Amino acid sequence: MKKHIVVLSGAGMSAESGLKTFRDSNGLWEGHDVMSVASPEGFAKNPALVLDFYNQRRRQLLEVEPNQAHLNLAQLENDFKVSIITQNVDDLHERAGSTNVIHLHGELLKSRNVETDAVIYDCKTDICLDDKDPNGIQLRPHIVWFGEAVPLIDKALDICQTADILIIIGTSLQVYPAASLMHYVPEHIPKFYIDNNPAPTHDASIKVIAERASIGVSKVIKELLK
């Protein structure tokens, strides 16, 4: 029976692919205040600005590639059951070959209408004002904005409870409920936190590896395969 590795990844996972993190760019997202481009209030106030913000990030995502950390995690599936719970909205884990990925904060390459996330559409192009779904309702990015529910959090909690190994990669652990997931894994399993500027975890059982993701992931894999 393969051991179950649970990975909790954040923006630092994709930094080496060229995608900006959120809190490394002094709190501005591509020059925008986060609440003006990632909240229902911001969308209501200026939908065109919000749609354009995500259009720019979607176009950039289609120009970048998974990095060595994504690729190494995908390879882990040869020897382990691997569940990736990511805060990232990019598809780089999937493009690297990981087959079991859940996106807590939504997906940049998906859309939904402004009334419900019951129906999700693939979306590789811009979303503009007056782009509507088949029911004639305005489309929006399938992103969980600040203040909105995190539909996959219960599924993520269930996954964490069955972890044999936990690897946290490239997250400042500041956004909840995602940041609480690490407390739901079994107490005595091996836990690693890879981050080039790690946040305090207040948990001495977590082995902190202060490296960038590509270096840290390969170090952890060497230890796991010993």
- The size of the interface with ligand APR (CB under 6 A), counted in residues, is 22
State which residue, 3 or 218, has the beta carbon closest to ligand APR.
Answer: 218
Among 90, 86, 38, smallest CA distance to 61 is for: 90
Q: Which of 6, 15, 165, 168 binds ligand APR (CB under 6 A)?
A: 15
- How many helices, marked H, and strands, marked E, lie in the chain? 7, 11
Q: Which residue stretches of the chain are H helix?
A: 34-37, 40-45, 47-61, 68-75, 92-96, 153-161, 213-225
42 assigned to a ligand binding site: no
Q: Does 93 bind ligand APR (CB under 6 A)?
A: no
**Smallest gap from residue 189 Cβ to ligand APR (A):** 22
Q: Does 92 bind ligand APR (CB under 6 A)?
A: no
Q: Does 224 bind ligand APR (CB under 6 A)?
A: no
* DSSP per-residue string spanning 148-207: S--TTHHHHHHHHHT-SEEEEES--S-STTGGGGGGGS-TTS-EEEE-SSPPP-S-TTEE
Q: Which of 105, 183, 188, 202 is catalytic?
A: 105
55 assigned to a ligand binding site: no
4 given a catalytic annotation? no
Q: Which of 5, 7, 8, 16 binds ligand APR (CB under 6 A)?
A: 16
Among 224, 209, 195, 213, smallest CA distance to 96 is for: 213
State which residue, 164 or 202, has the beta carbon closest to ligand APR.
Answer: 202
Q: Does 113 bind ligand APR (CB under 6 A)?
A: no
Is the torsion defined by CA of 128, 130, 133, 138 positive or negative? positive
Distance CA 102, CA 9 (A): 10
Site for ligand APR in 132-191 (CB under 6 A): 170-172, 174-175
Could you list the residues known to form a binding site for substrate, using ranges: 54, 57
Site for ligand APR, rule CB under 6 A: 10-12, 15-16, 21-24, 87, 105, 170-172, 174-175, 195-197, 199, 212-213
- Enzyme catalytic residues: 105
